[in-house]
Amino acid sequence: MLPLALLVASLVLTLHQEPVQPAPLVAHGAIELPNVEGRIDHLAIDLSGERVFVAARGNDTVEVLDLAARKHLRSLKVPGEPQGILYLADAQQLVVASGKQGTCEVYDGATLEHVKRVELGSDADNLRYDARTRRVFVAYGEGALGIVDAATWTVLGSVPLEGHPESFQLDASAERAFVNVPDAKQLVQLDLVKRATLATWTVDEAAANFPMVLVPPDERRVDARRADAWLVLGCRSPAKLVVRTTKGERVGTFELAGDVDDLFHDAKRARVLAVCGAGFVDVFALEAAGLRRVAQVATAAGARTGLYVPEREQLLVAVPHRDAQRAEVRVFDVRE
Number of residues written out for the chain: 336
CA 104 to each of CA 89, 127, 143, 154, 243: distance values in angstroms, whole numbers, following the listed order: 17, 9, 17, 11, 31
∠ CA 147-149-154, rounded to 5°:
90
Check residue 6 and give its pLDDT: 45
Check residue 289 and give its pLDDT: 87
Flag residues of the chain having pLDDT under 50: 1-2, 4, 6-16, 18-19, 220, 222, 224-225
What's the CA gap between 218 and 227, in Å, rounded?
A: 7
Check residue 145 and give its pLDDT: 98
The correct CATH number of 39-202 out of 2.130.10.10, 3.40.50.1110, 3.10.20.740, 2.60.120.10 is: 2.130.10.10
Check residue 8 and give its pLDDT: 45
Check residue 16 and give its pLDDT: 47
Helix (DSSP H) and strand (DSSP E) numbers for the chain = 1, 28
What's the CA gap between 142 and 181, in Å, rounded?
A: 10
Check residue 21 and give its pLDDT: 65
The amino acid occupying position 231 is L
Check residue 18 and give its pLDDT: 47
pTM: 0.92
Nearest in space to 96 (alpha carbons), one of 62, 132, 73 = 62
Neighbours of 310 (CB within 10 A): 14
∠ CA 144-306-312, rounded to 5°:
120
For the chain, domain boundaries:
39-202
In the sheet with 168-170, reading across from the earlier edge strand, the strands are 168-170, 176-181, 186-191, 196-202
